[in-house]
Amino acid sequence: MSEFNPNVDFYFNNSKKWKKELLKLREIILETNLNEELKWGSPCYTSHNRNIVLIHEFKEYCAILFFKGVLLKDMEGILIQQTQNVQSARQIRFTNIQEVTRIENTLKNYIKEAIEVEKSDLKVEFKKPTEFQISEEFQVKLNEIPALKTAFEKLSPGRQRAYLLHFSAPKQSKTREARVEKCIPNILNWKGLNDI
């Protein structure tokens, strides 16, 4: 069993709703000899400096997230795609401690498979930016401003994808339009959505 990382303890200590479940998940994961680290403010478990699984909590459930979950066999049919835009990661969700303990051995098997997937260097085939829908509001700006179209095409596929998802997420056209307007200067400077 791997050791607890004291830098991660606060995450479990601060949990109000899912503390028992999170502690049990931590114990199960560490029994698979993964290293415990803190990434993105959450407990992240790695093997040879590669992310395998993450623990996180939400209002309605707590979960473990497999970074390359889409590549797992999922023989039990328990992996969940968080949203339609999540391409690689998959979750297993829990709403009580009994659910965690009932599938403890299954969880260990999934984690071991995830470690093997990472060792084998399997890659997830991500959609190309051209496969994502371009919001009407962004398309209008691309048509109006040739320099914007040129700059957008020079961005990396990941940056293009982030913008396309960001622009198409709101339900109201007014909000989509505001997002596009706000991001135009960054795109023209070849910056990604989250670049400073």
Q: For residue range 1-13, list pLDDT tens digits in order.
A: 778 899 999 999 9
Task: Give the mean pLDDT of 40-46.
Answer: 95
Q: From CA 82, how far away is CA 182, in angstroms rounded?
A: 27
Q: Contact, 30 vs 46, CB < 8 A?
A: no
Q: Angle at Cα 45 formed by Cα 43 and Cα 49, nearest 5°?
A: 125
Q: Is the separation of the CB atoms in 26 and 43 below 8 Å? A: yes
Q: How far apart are CA 55 and CA 45, in angstroms?
A: 8
**pLDDT tens readout for residues 123-142:** 877 767 667 778 999 999 99
Phi, then psi, of 80 in degrees rounded to 5: -120, 135
Quickly state the pLDDT bin for 50 (edges 50, 70, 90). very high
Mean pLDDT over 12-30 rounds to 95
Calpha distance 80→90 (Å, rounded): 5
* 135, amino acid identity: S
Compute how many other C-beta atoms are within 10 angstroms of the C-beta atom of residue 14. Answer: 9
The pLDDT > 90 percentage for the chain reads 74
Residue range 10-25: average pLDDT? 95
Closest C-alpha among 89, 17, 141 to residue 151 = 141
